[in-house]
C-alpha cells in the first residue's frame, strides 16, 4: 500500500488517484529573482523522490511547476515591493520590461542548471506567471461574480470572511491570522487575512515595469493567483497532488485553496504534501535571513551536488534537517565510498527481490528515504556480490545518486602505476620492506592505493 501524509487531513493516507493510472502533480516553483538556496533545493529533491516513487508504483505523471516572474511581494501580507522589482534595482538594470525578462531568464536558467545537477527530473510544464495573465484575470472575474472579492483603491482583494472553512489547511483561520500578525497589513482590507488577487499600478507599484490592463485598471496579479489559474489550466480541478515547503501552508496554499474552491466550487487538490525546512544553526535557511548557501557555493568548497542530494535523503522530508558543512562532508564521503566499492562489482545480473521489496516498502511508507538508504547499505555490504549491481541500479531509479557511472567500472590504472606496484611486489618478495614502503607511497602520491588481498595486490583509485 502506498501511503502519503496529507496536510489537509493531518494523517497518512493510502494514495488513490483520480484517474486510475495517471497522476496530476503541481509543485510551487521558484520566484526567479535570485539563485535558489539549498533549502529551496531540499524541497525540490523531496518532490523528485515523490515523482520517482509514483513512477515506481506504475503511475504516469503530469508534473506542472510554475515560474513566478511577477507579483510575489516582499511580504506574504501583500505589503512591500515586488521581489522582482527589488532585484532589478539590486542588479542595476534598466527599469523596463525587457530588462525584467532578462533578469527572470537569468535566474530561471540558473534554477534549471541546479536542479539538473541534482538529478531532479524536469517537470512536463513550467508555465510562467507573466504568460498567463488572461487566465488569472478570468479567475478574478469569476470571484467577483460570486461575491468573494472586492475592489479598493489599491487592489482587488479576496474576501476571506465569505468562506466558512478558510484556513482549513493550516488548522483554521486563527493560525493564518497568527502567521500574518507580525506583518503590516493594508488598511484597505476588510479582514486581516484577505489577500490581493490583483494589485493596481498605483502608489508604491506605480512604476512597476510589468503591468497589464484589466477590468480594475492597470496592474499585475497577486502571487497566489497564478497557481490557482495555471494548475486549473494544465491539470484541471481537482487534481491529485500539490506540494511545496511548510512555509506555504498558512498563506500561499491556504489562499490558493480559497480562490480555486470559491471560484469553481470543487476541491483544488486531493493530497497536499509539505517538506520541512532546511535549517542553518538556529535559523531556517532563507534569502532574507542572510543564511544563504547556493549549490555553487557548495561546489566552490569542493562538494558535489549529488553529495547534497544524499544528505537530504538521510532525513525524512517531514523532519527539519540542520545543515552543517561537517554533515555534508560525511555525506560526500559516504557516497564516494559507495561509488568506490561499486566499481569492482561484477556487471549487473539479477535483482535480489526481497531487498527490492523492503526498499519499496520504505518509500511507500510516506517516502521514508532514511530507511531506503539503510536498505541500500545493506545491499552494498551484505548480500551476495552477484546481486549487488542490479539491485543498486534498481534502487537508484528512485534515489537518483548516479550509480550507473560507477558500477562495474574499475578505474583505468596507468601503466606507470602498474609498474610501481610490480616493483613493490619484487621488493616485498626480497623482504626489502623499506623499498616496498617507498614504492607504496609513490603509488599513493599518484592518487592510487595498493590493497593486499588473498588473491594478490589490487590497485584502486583513491577516493578524491
Residues near ligand AMP (CB under 6 A) are 28, 30-31, 39-40, 42-43, 244-245, 247-248, 275, 277-278, 284-286
Cell of 164: 466558512
8 binds Zn ion (CB under 5 A): no
- Cα dihedral 303→304→305→309 (10° resolution): -90
Q: Does residue 82 have a cis peptide bond before it, meaning omega lies within 30 degrees of 0?
A: no
273 binds Zn ion (CB under 5 A): no
Closest approach, Cβ 258 to Zn ion, in A, equals: 13
Q: Which is nearer to Zn ion, 214 or 231 (CB)?
A: 231
Which residue is closest to ligand AMP by CB? 245
Residues touching Zn ion, count (CB under 5 A): 2
User: Based on C-alpha coordinates, what's the Rg of the chain?
Assistant: 27
Question: Would you call 176 helix, strand, or coil by DSSP?
Answer: helix
Closest approach, Cβ 226 to ligand AMP, in A, equals: 12
Q: Which is nearer to ligand AMP, 85 or 262 (CB)?
A: 85
Polymer length in residues for the chain: 464
Q: Which is nearer to ligand AMP, 222 or 244 (CB)?
A: 244
Cell of 70: 511577477
Cα distance between residue 196 and residue 202, in whole Å: 14
Closest approach, Cβ 277 to ligand AMP, in A, equals: 4
Residue 227, binding choice from Zn ion, ligand AMP, none, Cβ under 5 to 8 Å by partner class: Zn ion
Angle at 121 between CA 311 and CA 395, to 5 degrees: 55
Q: Which is nearer to ligand AMP, 111 or 158 (CB)?
A: 111
Closest approach, Cβ 254 to ligand AMP, in A, equals: 13
Closest approach, Cβ 98 to ligand AMP, in A, equals: 23
Q: Which is nearer to ligand AMP, 39 or 123 (CB)?
A: 39
202: which DSSP letter?
-
Q: Which residue has the cell 513550467?
A: 126
How do strand 60-65 and strand 149-151 relate by DSSP bridges? Answer: unpaired
Among 227, 278, 306, 450, binds Zn ion (CB under 5 A): 227
Among 4, 8, 28, 298, binds Zn ion (CB under 5 A): 28
229 binds Zn ion (CB under 5 A): no
Q: Which is nearer to ligand AMP, 320 or 418 (CB)?
A: 320
Closest approach, Cβ 243 to Zn ion, in A, equals: 10
DSSP 384-411: -HHHHHHHHHHHHHHH---GGGTTT-PP
Residue 296 has a CB neighbour count (10 Å cut-off) of 13
Under 8 Å between Cβ of 20 and 361:
no
Q: Which is nearer to Zn ion, 227 or 392 (CB)?
A: 227
Kindly list the residues in this chain that would bind Zn ion in the complex (CB under 5 A).
28, 227
Amino acid at each position: 500500500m502506498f501511503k502519503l501524509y496529507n496536510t489537509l487531513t493531518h494523517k497518512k493516507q493510502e494514495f488513490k488517484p483520480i484517474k486510475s493510472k495517471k497522476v496530476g502533480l503541481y509543485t510551487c516553483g521558484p520566484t526567479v529573482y535570485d539563485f535558489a538556496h539549498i533549502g529551496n533545493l531540499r524541497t525540490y529533491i523531496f518532490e523528485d523522490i515523490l515523482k520517482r516513487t509514483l513512477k515506481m508504483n506504475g503511475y504516469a505523471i503530469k508534473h506542472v511547476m510554475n515560474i513566478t516572474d511577477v507579483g510575489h511581494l516582499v511580504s506574504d501580507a501583500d505589503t512591500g515591493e515586488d521581489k522582482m522589482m527589488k532585484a532589478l534595482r539590486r542588479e542595476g538594470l534598466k527599469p523596463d520590461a525587457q530588462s525584467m525578462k532578462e533578469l527572470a531568464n537569468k535566474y530561471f536558467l540558473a534554477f534549471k542548471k541546479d536542479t539538473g545537477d541534482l538529478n531532479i527530473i524536469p517537470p512536463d510544464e513550467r508555465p510562467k506567471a507573466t504568460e498567463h495573465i488572461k487566465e488569472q484575470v478570468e479567475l478574478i472575474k469569476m470571484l467577483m461574480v460570486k461575491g468573494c472579492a472586492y475592489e479598493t483603491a489599491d487592489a482587488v482583494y479576496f474576501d476571506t470572511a465569505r468562506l466558512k472553512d478558510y484556513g482549513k489547511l493550516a488548522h483554521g483561520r486563527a493560525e493564518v491570522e497568527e502567521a500574518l500578525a507580525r506583518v503590516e497589513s493594508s488598511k484597505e482590507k476588510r479582514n486581516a487575512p484577505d489577500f490581493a488577487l490583483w494589485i493596481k499600478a498605483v502608489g508604491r507599484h506605480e512604476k512597476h515595469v510589468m503591468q497589464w490592463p484589466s477590468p480594475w485598471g492597470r496592474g499585475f496579479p497577486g502571487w497566489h493567483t497564478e497557481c490557482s489559474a495555471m494548475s486549473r489550466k494544465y491539470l484541471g480541478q481537482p487534481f491529485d497532488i500539490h506540494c511545496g515547503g511548510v512555509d506555504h501552508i498558512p498563506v500561499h496554499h491556504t489562499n490558493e485553496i480559497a480562490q480555486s474552491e470559491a471560484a469553481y466550487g470543487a476541491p483544488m487538490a486531493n493530497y497536499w504534501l509539505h517538506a520541512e525546512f532546511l535549517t542553518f544553526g538556529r535559523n531556517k535557511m532563507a534569502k532574507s535571513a542572510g543564511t544563504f548557501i547556493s549549490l555553487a557555493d557548495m561546489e566552490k568548497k569542493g562538494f558535489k551536488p549529488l553529495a547534497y542530494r544524499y544528505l537530504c535523503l538521510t532525513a525524512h522530508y517531514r523532519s527539519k534537517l540542520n545543515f552543517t558543512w561537517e554533515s555534508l562532508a560525511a555525506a560526500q564521503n559516504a557516497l564516494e565510498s559507495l561509488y568506490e566499492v561499486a566499481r569492482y562489482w561484477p556487471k549487473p545480473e539479477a535483482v535480489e527481490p526481497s531487498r527490492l521489496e523492503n526498499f519499496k516498502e520504505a518509500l511507500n511508507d510516506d517516502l521514508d528515504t532514511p530507511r531506503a538508504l539503510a536498505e541500500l547499505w545493506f545491499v552494498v555490504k551484505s548480500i551476495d556480490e552477484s546481486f549487488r549491481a542490479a539491485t543498486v541500479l534498481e534502487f537508484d531509479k528512485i534515489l537518483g545518486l548516479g550509480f550507473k557511472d560507477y558500477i562495474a567500472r574499475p578505474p583505468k590504472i596507468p601503466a606507470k602505476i602498474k609498474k610501481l606496484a610490480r616493483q613493490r611486489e619484487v621488493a616485498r618478495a626480497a623482504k626489502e620492506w623499506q623499498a616496498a614502503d617507498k614504492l607504496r607511497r609513490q603509488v599513493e602520491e599518484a592518487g592510487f592505493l595498493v590493497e593486499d588481498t588473498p588473491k594478490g595486490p589490487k590497485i584502486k583509485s583513491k577516493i578524491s
